[in-house]
Amino acid sequence: MCKSLVWKEENKKIICSTPVFEVGERLCRSPDNKVRTYTVLDTHDWAIVIPALDTKSGLQFVMVRQWRHGARELSLEFPGGVFKNDEDSAAAALRELREETGYKAGKITKLGKFNPNPAIMSNTVHFFLCEELVKGSQELDDDEYVEVVNVPWEEVFYGLGKAPYIHALMGTAMALYIGNKKPELP
């Protein structure tokens, strides 16, 4: 049954290049031989990290507050970012955690990977849980202004879908976290 859903890509061309992605047009043939053009973004893979911190007042997540130029507002998020060079997904996650929050992790667990939007993007976003955290200092890029905030995990979870938790992929991360840890839901 699935075979009748599969398209064939016949040609592609880049119509616009930017510092963060390339915009391409793909000419595709449908299961019943119609030809259509689809617009797709090619970019590097990303890593997103859930840094989990055991404290006297319970489990907290280490979050970063930063300005987001797409949304034109402040967003409170898990740390993360784009892979650099040939680093693997766990290396990217640990580097982003260290650079954005200053924390190093003694334990890292891969929770899963997705396409951030398979309709229009071709890259992969990898999710990790980082534990056994040890505090160091941030190493920010010169256009990064990042405030580190420790937030009780329930506050993040029940805050999803409302400001300041405006980043949809933080919801993805939380779903993976809950599937992995099965915490009691207050």
Which listed residue (54, 132, 139, 147) binds a copy of itself by CB under 8 A? 147
Distance, CA of 94 to CA of 130 (rounded, Å): 8
Q: What is the DSSP string of 18-45?
A: -SS-EEEEEEEE-TTS-EEEEEEEE---
Which 5-64 positions form the footprint of a copy of itself (CB under 8 A)? 5-7, 9, 15-16, 18-21, 23, 25-26, 28, 30-31, 34, 36, 38-41
Query: Coil, strand or helix: which one is 4?
Result: helix
CA dihedral 139→141→147→152, nearest 10 degrees, is -70
Q: How far is the CB of 30 from a copy of itself (least distance, A)?
A: 6
CA distances from 44 to 14, 80, 97, 124 (A): 16, 13, 18, 8
Closer Cβ to a copy of itself, 104 or 148, answer by number:
148
Closer Cβ to a copy of itself, 49 or 125, answer by number:
125
Q: How far is the CB of 123 from a copy of itself (least distance, A)?
A: 9
CB-based contact 25:11 (threshold 8 Å): no
In what helix (H) or strand (E) does residue 153 lie, and over which residues does it extend?
helix 153-159
Q: Report if residue 66 touches a copy of itself, rule: CB under 8 A.
A: yes
Distance, CA of 172 to CA of 49 (rounded, Å): 11
Q: Report if residue 73 touches a copy of itself, rule: CB under 8 A.
A: yes
Q: How far is the CB of 89 from a copy of itself (least distance, A)?
A: 12
β-bridge pairing 58-68 and 46-55:
antiparallel
Which listed residue (13, 33, 57, 72) binds a copy of itself by CB under 8 A? 72
Q: Report if residue 158 touches a copy of itself, rule: CB under 8 A.
A: yes
Q: Report if residue 176 touches a copy of itself, rule: CB under 8 A.
A: yes
Closer Cβ to a copy of itself, 56 or 72, answer by number:
72
The structure tokens listed for 114 are 């997705």
Which 87-146 positions form the footprint of a copy of itself (CB under 8 A)? 111-122, 125, 127, 142-143, 145-146
